Each structure stands twice: as C-alpha cells, then as structure tokens.
Amino acid sequence: MKKILLDKIPIDLPKELEPFVLGASVFDSSCHSQAKVYYIDKDNGYYLKISPKGTLETEKMMTEYFYKKGIGAEVLHYSSNEKDYILTAKVVGDDCTSEKYLAEPKKLTDILASELRRLHELDFSDCPIKDKMQKYFDTAEGNFHSGNYDKSHFPDSYGYRSAREAYAVFQEGKKYLNNDVLLHGDYCLPNVMLNDWKLSGFIDVGSGGVGDRHVDVFWALWSLGFNLKTDRYRQRFIDVYGRDLIDEQLLKIVSAIEVFG
C-alpha cells in the first residue's frame, strides 16, 4: 500500500481525533477518488478515512462486524458532520501486494483462495447487511441509466461489446445471484492483511454484507491477474477455493454488473 509523507492532514479534524495525530508522522495512503485515507504513524499505527457525509456508515458497521468476528480492524472513532470520519487501528502485518508475498505467487494464490473459502463458510446470521445483492443491483441499474459505463479495468469484459449488451446480461442473470455467504465485497490483494503468511484481517469492508460468493471470487481472480500481471494462477485459485462451488456463467454475470461500477 503506497504511503506519501505529508506535513499534516490538510483539513481540520474533529477534536476527538486530534490526540491521535498530535506529534505523529502522517502519510497519504489514498487509492479511491472519493475517499481520502491517511496512515498515522503513532503507537501501533492508525488509519483515518475521510469521505463525503453519509458515505461511511455502512463501512463503520461492517468493519465493526468483521472485528467482532476476529478478522477485521478495530473502529476507534466514527463521526458524520460536514464529512464522515472513521479511524481504525492498523491491522498487524502487510497487505498481499507486499513484495515478499508477490514473490511467491503459488503460495499467495493458495492462501487467498483458502481464506476466502473460510470467510464464505462463516455464520452470517447476525450480519447487519442481509441483502447485499439488492443494493449491488440498484447501483448498477442507476449507473447504466446515467451513462456510467467503464470497462477500462476489465478490457476483455467477458466479450461485452457495449453497455447495452452488458446490461442485458445483467438483467437476465441477476436472478441467479443469491444472498448466501458473508461477502468481503472488494476481495482484492490490498485488502487482505497477512502476518508471516497467516491471515491477520480484512480491511476496506464497506462493500461487504450477505451476498453471492461469485462477487468475491470475481474480484479475487481479477486482482490476482492485475497484481501478478498474469492469469496463470486463475485455475489454481479456483481449484483451491473449490471448483464445485464456482460457476463461470455467474462470474460472467458479475462482470456485466461490475462495468457499471
């Protein structure tokens, strides 16, 4: 995860956050256009995410839920005023884009697949987001009608030649996607934290909830290809996760939804 040293956080913070920042080195660790993320190098480390008002409430709920499950970051502060603020303790270890993990792609693929399978087998009866797929569909629907179609991250886009073609696949296929596992929602290498090859937690779980496993599998496969710069480990991931649980047609439907953000 990139970190750019700053003189200070460039906006005024709620008073409750000032003690965490006082005397600390601060780094910009942002990777999303909407949210700003800062790493505060103090004590064992903190992450502060700042986003437009009303956008981090779900992330706060899901981060607390993953922490309760023993697989997430501790939320130390959340407030929603002119902006939303969420402060979490740093999860021990490094994310999976660390060179030491990328240097052993087979081992990395195996742990990503096995930990995702383990996540999907957790009891989710107390999850605060019970129907993730409906929100997922609603977002894609709204973005289609507003002209938000971006396949730049998925250049082959499973062969979709236009937004309308992808939308048709989405509309026909969404009935096959279920709410039957606990999702991370953005299961990419930067969001999986390892400590000496052992899972220490998941971060950026604001897109999580109860949904269809193929959303996480899609992003895992995409992220492996993107970060390792090869699709060589795709089939290995599927084998380790459980080939009997993965339907390529459902991955195609997820792809059709993802091009609409």
Active site residue 239: no
**Cβ neighbourhood burial of 202 (10 Å; 0-12, 13-18, 19+):** buried
Q: Please tell me which residue in 84, 95, 186, 204 is annotated as part of the active site.
A: 186
Q: Is residue 109 within 8 Å of residue 236, measured between CB atoms?
A: yes
Pairing state between β 75-80 and 46-52:
unpaired
Q: How many CB atoms lie within 10 A of CB 167?
A: 21
The amino acid occupying position 36 is K
Q: Is residue 40 within 8 Å of residue 47, measured between CB atoms?
A: yes
Written as one string, the DSSP assignment of 150-190 is: --TTSSSGGG--SHHHHHHHHHHHGGG----EEE-SS--GG
Question: How far is Cα 84 from Cα 78, in angstroms, rounded to an integer?
Answer: 7
The residues assigned a catalytic role are 186
